[in-house]
Structure 1
Amino acid sequence: MKAMIFCAGLGTRLKPYTDSVPKALVQLAGKPLLTHVIERLKTFGVDEVVVNVHHFANKVEAFIADRDSYGIKVSISDERDMLLDTGGGLKKAADLLNDGKPFIIHNVDIMSDINIAELYKKHQEGGALATLAVSNRMSSRYFLFDEAMQLVGWKNIKSNEQKISRVGDTYIPFAFNGIHVVSPQIFELMDGFDGKFSIVDLYLHLAKTESIKGYDVSKNRIIDVGKPASLIDAEKLLF
């Protein structure tokens, strides 16, 4: 099973830590965030990981090269020349990910106790193009779903901006948790999306004609460790 870990971001919310190291190598409970995510993915059967790099790319590459103990294949998707955002990063890594089977995407700054095996199974059973781990929690931005948990839109609570992919009577808001399972057919549906673009925009476009589903993990503990204070919270709650 393959997975991609999004690591290329600048980590501006984690300053001053990211002034000297990339976000992926910021320490939590004595280990870099990247190590936490890889070790957790391994417990669910992942045996090959793709890591994208941009900010302090050399440090991430050197760190991975020194970690034979991971015991799995770790490939680099190089975004040194241009930071491609989540959608562009996924497209660039297509050749490394596409083996004809669904793969996992995991943000490096998300710590959780989500059962990824259950999420993967739900994706396989549901026949969706992508299955997103979502929660009923406070956020400034929400994906909107219908009663069947089919993605129908997106809303920014602060700006009141709204994007609707499918008009309907039900728009149930759920916050996205940065963990998703994606079928490789997505690479055939990216026409018109090039360079730097968000996977959110890609999902909203594809939801017009394809099945993008949400999987409710509100019962789980999930912490976005993208800010210094949240690192402390994560260590208290998860370790």
Structure 2
Amino acid sequence: MRPDSVMLFAAGFGTRMGALTADRPKPMIEVAGKPLLDHALELVEAIQPARTVVNVHYLPDAIRTHLAGRDIAISDESDRILETGGGLRKALPLLGNGPVFTMNTDAVWAGPNPLQQLLHAWNPDQMDALLLCIPLENAVGHTGQGDFVADSENRLTRGPGQVYSGLQILKPDLLAEIPEDAFSLNLLWNRMLAQRRLFGLSYPGQWCDVGRPEGIALAERMIGYTHV
């Protein structure tokens, strides 16, 4: 089944951004003249999904106001932040059935549309999830050792290798088996790893995680943006 719904994670506190998130949620921080959320939405809109959902928690009214009048559903986590797994499960009634894209909203991309790349490679007969991964040399500003190693068939194992980009296609079926309310999608990945149904795709372009203030300048340099 072709994934036709997108879940955008926008509920985090953005504490690593320091004073920049004192009066706004991290997805509303501007890079190259527009909010991070809009960078993600431009990529999403290019594949024309049937449903797009954004979750909110910290300073939610800023995101609600920004998205007003657009065909985007809001999954409200104002009472309690649910992490990625719990947030996705709460949003399932808005997302519909079948596999979904999940996407972080704190990265900027330079290269082909990453959602389109995943669509081309998605094989639901083999895969329970397909993670878009970034070779270390293409992960601008990243200082870690990577998250996953892929074998010759692109099955993943955990280890120093490529960096998880925050974008994937995932079958949400296993969410019902998790007893916690708030939990990371890592719990699902662990089950998929055990069944050898977690796959990765290497992104050919560049990617910059804007999780810290210095990431703003790095991302703008990566895409060739100059302030006027």
Same fold? TM cut 0.5 = yes
Question: Which residue of 2 is the match for residue 202 of structure 1?
Answer: 188
Q: For the Cα contact (< 8 Å) 1:7–1:51, is it kept in 2? A: yes
Q: For the Cα contact (< 8 Å) 1:132–1:213, is it kept in 2? A: yes
Question: Which residue of 2 is the match for residue 106 of structure 1?
Answer: 103
Q: 1:175 aligns with which of 163, 171, 176?
A: 163
Q: How many residues align?
A: 213
Question: Which residue of 2 is the match for residue 83 of structure 1?
Answer: 81
Q: For the Cα contact (< 8 Å) 2:132–2:200, is it kept in 1? A: yes
Range 123-132 or range 229-238, more displaced: 123-132
- C-alpha displacement of 1:216: 1.1
SS at match of 2:65: helix
- C-alpha displacement of 1:104: 1.4
SS at match of 1:13: helix
Question: Which residue of 2 is the match for residue 54 of structure 1?
Answer: 57
Q: For the Cα contact (< 8 Å) 1:114–1:220, is it kept in 2? A: yes
Residue identity opposite 1:177 in structure 2: S
Query: Is the alpha carbon distance of 1:141 and 1:237 closer, same or farther for their aligned partners in structure 2, counting shifts above 3 Å?
Result: closer
Q: Does 1:149 align with 2:154?
A: yes
Q: Does 1:14 align with 2:17?
A: yes
- C-alpha displacement of 1:47: 4.4
TM-score (norm 2): 0.85
TM-score (norm 1): 0.81
**Alignment partners' CA distance in 1, 2:217 and 2:46:** 24
Question: Which residue of 2 is the match for residue 118 of structure 1?
Answer: 117
**Alignment partners' CA distance in 2, 1:128 and 1:53:** 29
**Alignment partners' CA distance in 2, 1:141 and 1:233:** 19
Q: Percent identity?
A: 29
Q: For the Cα contact (< 8 Å) 2:155–2:196, is it kept in 1? A: no
